[in-house]
Structure 1
Amino acid sequence: MARGLQTAGLVAVLCAGCGTASTPVPANTEKETVATPSFPVLAPDTQEDPLAARIDGPQPVPEVELDGLHAAVEQNPADPGARRNLAMGLFRSGYRKEAIEQFEEAARLDPTAARLMDLAHAYGSASRLDDAEAVYDRVLAARPDVPVALYHLANIAFTKAELGRATELYRRAIGHDPNYLLAHYRLGIALKTRRQWVEAYQTFGKVLNLEPGDAEEASAFENALYEIAMLDIQHGELKRAEETLAVLIESNADHAQAHYGYGQLLLRQGRVVEAQRELQTHAQLRSRHKPTGTVATGK
């Protein structure tokens, strides 16, 4: 990816010491009891990989196609594949409640890890975090080596301010998949939130040693650069922060937070006019791009 090539020289400097092992943080073992639909014992997987279970789509499904998906379920209501196809069509078209009902029925009929991952992802996207957490736990009870389930559980724990548990779950996800870019990035955020500055810096540096595979990972890669720069500003490393932010803005001139960070840096240097220009750019970009996504969705 071009973005990775553009930052190659800077990454070598930023990632000095990034291989240092982190000290494990004990998990918060407190867990509230949650209600979730009852399913049979988890069946073994067949063809589908739960790691590829992503239900969010780029655009709504036309009504005529939804009618066809409804008809397929009516013709064979015991077919979990037909239920899943309808659920995905409904979900992508904004019918979240009806979609979740179909995901629940598909998982009841075919309680494989793939179907349960679909359901947990749908719960998370609908902000039903307790239900999502319970279903991810069911997947991991049968298959503890599914890093994406650990990652989503960590995101949920982070949202609930269970930072110790979130940190431990991100580490477990990375343990099963050392190249899990999103897990490294979110671990860095959790460590920064816990004010573990050195570990956070090193973890963001590890993100820069990985190659983004899609738009979501590319965004996390850019955000890791931003986080490194802000930590450098916080600790007085203004020259290095300026270099990092310059690389980020050159790579993506629409990265609003990069302009904000650069504005803050310029203010510290007494370059007020330039700072005002960067902060104004930040405000303009923020007004154009509204945040999207939820904590329990993603790769």
Structure 2
Amino acid sequence: KKDFHGALRESQEATRLAPNDSETHRTLGRILDFSGEVVSAIGELRRAIELEPRRAELHDDLGTVLVQKSDPQSAAAEFSEALRLQPDFAQAHFHLGVLRYQEKFMEEAAQHLQTAVQLNSADPGGHYYFAQVLKGKGETDAAIRELQDCVALKPAYPDAQNSLGLLLQHSGEVEQAIKAFRQAVKLQPENPDAHNNLGLAFLQTGDGSGAIAEFQTAVHLRPDDSGYQGNLGAAYLQVADFDTAISEFEGALKLSPQDATLHYDLGLALKLKDKLPEAVAELHQAAELDPGQADVHYTLGVTLWQQGDFAAAAEEFRAAIHAKPDYAEAYYTLGTVLKQEGELQDAAAALREAIRLQPDSAGTHTTLATVLRQLGDAQGAAAESRAGMEIAKQKTGDQAALFATNSGRRLRNTGDIEGAISQFHAAISSSPNYAAAHFELGVALRQQGKSEEAQEEFRKAAELDPRLTPPPSRKK
């Protein structure tokens, strides 16, 4: 602080001795800005510009201070003038891009930030904000790449690590997301959001114990956050500690009594403890608070069905379908309940709709076969029974094919190509349309030098799954 005041006095003296030197006014403006004297800083920077109006960096400096003064229009004008004077000024592109991003002008923000990154690829901030714009435009893969560049340049960038973790998590790359979240927690151990994000990632991978530790830290850091406490309850639910889960959900509801999700979670925990009347009460509360949540109605329907209240259960399944018209499982369970109620025509209609939405459900075909048989439709019942058996057989074959393909991969990795090929053929025998087996067989055949046979397997794999493309051939 002593040095700062000394610097301020020296800079003021410099401007007194050289009142027509733009650099002295610029330096004083920066020091005043640092001290929070924004208005005085603006005055000094404007004086610097009066003395040298064609210095692009002066306009950029003034723009950054005007942003702090909440004058985005004037700030944008200064950044634009800096770029008119010096079109390849990376910092001005960065500042204008960030400003446009904050104003939600995504296209213009993207243009300036992309240019800033191209002009100065070593600036982690450019990559970070360009990633935020790309994320806002829905270009997730490109945003991930920018954030990876950002943290490679500056690993100690907690916001970037956290943002990268969230995007990776939403893209299904949970293990990589956990690495990023761990870095964020390491950099900001007192940030409850960082612990919460890491806990959610652990929860997604089934690591309930890891999730509990992170949520406990988040709750300790911010004890009045019902969301953190609810997540802690969910983690206890995952490790089957139902009593503690119930306690956490009840504690969260004291903080947020109108939170439908918390009532639903508590109802689910009570249901798992076989406390069905209490579970029904909580689920009813959740449904009243948020009638559009299909899963709430579905779980309430299942619980009422378990209690033997078939009519009320059917109404809840219908409510779930109303909230989510493509809810195949709700149609199936509704059909099952109506079958038990003897409402066979309605049961058949619900089951047919379930099959339309999810045609590969063996159980639904089998249940419909039973209903049709009771209705006297022997031919229809036989057809549905055959369909159910074929689907079950196919799924069994797919499971066998998956096992054989994984076994073949392991053998190939140990150098046993013949053994691997045998396993891949076994997989194809179990499930002729199992794309991964054809693809892996192609890889193994190529390793044996059987190029034509390999290409044929790659062709079959691509027909079955266009995402599978042959790996590049090794150069001899």
| TM-score of the two chains, using structure 1 as the length reference | 0.66
Alignment of structure 1 residues 1-299 onto 2, 5 Å: 59-62=172-175, 66-111=178-223, 112-211=225-324, 218=326, 221-268=327-374, 269=376, 271=378, 273-281=382-390, 283-284=392-393, 287=396
Q: Which amino acid aligns with 1:69?
A: F
Assess, with a 3 A threshold, how the Cα gap between structure 1 residues 190 and 253 changes in structure 2: closer, same or farther.
Answer: same
Assess, with a 3 A threshold, how the Cα gap between structure 1 residues 150 and 94 changes in structure 2: closer, same or farther.
Answer: closer
| Larger RCO of the pair (alpha carbons < 8 Å, separation 6+) | 1
Identical amino acids, percent of aligned pairs? 23
Assess, with a 3 A threshold, how the Cα gap between structure 1 residues 277 and 118 changes in structure 2: closer, same or farther.
Answer: same
Paired with 1:66 and 1:211, the residues of 2 have a C-alpha distance of 32
How many angstroms does 1:167 deviate by?
Answer: 1.0
Paired with 2:340 and 2:207, the residues of 1 have a C-alpha distance of 44
Checking the alignment, whether the CA contact within 8 Å between 2:208 and 2:236 is kept in structure 1 is no
Paired with 2:323 and 2:295, the residues of 1 have a C-alpha distance of 10
Checking the alignment, whether the CA contact within 8 Å between 2:328 and 2:355 is kept in structure 1 is no
For residue 209 of structure 1, give the secondary structure of its aligned residue in structure 2: helix
The structure with the largest helix share of the pair is: 2
Q: Which amino acid aligns with 1:254?
A: D
Q: Which amino acid aligns with 1:97?
A: S
Assess, with a 3 A threshold, how the Cα gap between structure 1 residues 137 and 267 changes in structure 2: closer, same or farther.
Answer: same
How many angstroms does 1:117 deviate by?
Answer: 2.0
Q: Which amino acid aligns with 1:238?
A: L
Assess, with a 3 A threshold, how the Cα gap between structure 1 residues 285 and 132 changes in structure 2: closer, same or farther.
Answer: farther
Paired with 2:266 and 2:395, the residues of 1 have a C-alpha distance of 29
Number of residue pairs matched?
226
Checking the alignment, whether the CA contact within 8 Å between 1:86 and 1:102 is kept in structure 2 is yes
How many angstroms does 1:161 deviate by?
Answer: 1.3
Q: Which amino acid aligns with 2:363?
A: Q
Q: Which amino acid aligns with 2:302?
A: I
How many angstroms does 1:58 deviate by?
Answer: 6.4
- How big is the alpha-carbon RMSD for the aligned residues of Structure 1 and Structure 2? 2.7
How many angstroms does 1:228 deviate by?
Answer: 2.3
How many angstroms does 1:137 deviate by?
Answer: 0.4
Paired with 1:57 and 1:285, the residues of 2 have a C-alpha distance of 31
Paired with 2:241 and 2:347, the residues of 1 have a C-alpha distance of 39
Paired with 1:71 and 1:160, the residues of 2 have a C-alpha distance of 37
Q: Which amino acid aligns with 2:362?
A: A
Q: Which amino acid aligns with 2:272?
A: T
Checking the alignment, whether the CA contact within 8 Å between 1:185 and 1:207 is kept in structure 2 is yes
Paired with 1:68 and 1:208, the residues of 2 have a C-alpha distance of 39
How many angstroms does 1:85 deviate by?
Answer: 3.1
How many angstroms does 1:253 deviate by?
Answer: 0.5
Q: Which amino acid aligns with 1:248?
A: A
Paired with 2:345 and 2:201, the residues of 1 have a C-alpha distance of 50
Assess, with a 3 A threshold, how the Cα gap between structure 1 residues 205 and 285 changes in structure 2: closer, same or farther.
Answer: farther
Assess, with a 3 A threshold, how the Cα gap between structure 1 residues 242 and 87 changes in structure 2: closer, same or farther.
Answer: closer
Report which of the two structures shows the higher radius of gyration computed on alpha carbons.
Answer: 2
Assess, with a 3 A threshold, how the Cα gap between structure 1 residues 281 and 127 changes in structure 2: closer, same or farther.
Answer: farther
Assess, with a 3 A threshold, how the Cα gap between structure 1 residues 241 and 86 changes in structure 2: closer, same or farther.
Answer: closer
Name 1:48's counterpart in structure 2: none
How many angstroms does 1:183 deviate by?
Answer: 1.3
For residue 273 of structure 1, give the secondary structure of its aligned residue in structure 2: helix
How many angstroms does 1:165 deviate by?
Answer: 0.9
Assess, with a 3 A threshold, how the Cα gap between structure 1 residues 198 and 137 changes in structure 2: closer, same or farther.
Answer: same
| TM-score of the two chains, using structure 2 as the length reference | 0.43
Gaps of 5+ in 2: 1-168, 400-476
Residues 144-187 of structure 1 show CA distances to partners (whole Å, capped at 9, x for unaligned) of 11111111111111111111111111111112122222111111
Paired with 1:130 and 1:144, the residues of 2 have a C-alpha distance of 20
Checking the alignment, whether the CA contact within 8 Å between 1:256 and 1:285 is kept in structure 2 is no
Residues 4-50 of structure 1 show CA distances to partners (whole Å, capped at 9, x for unaligned) of xxxxxxxxxxxxxxxxxxxxxxxxxxxxxxxxxxxxxxxxxxxxxxx
How many angstroms does 1:240 deviate by?
Answer: 2.6
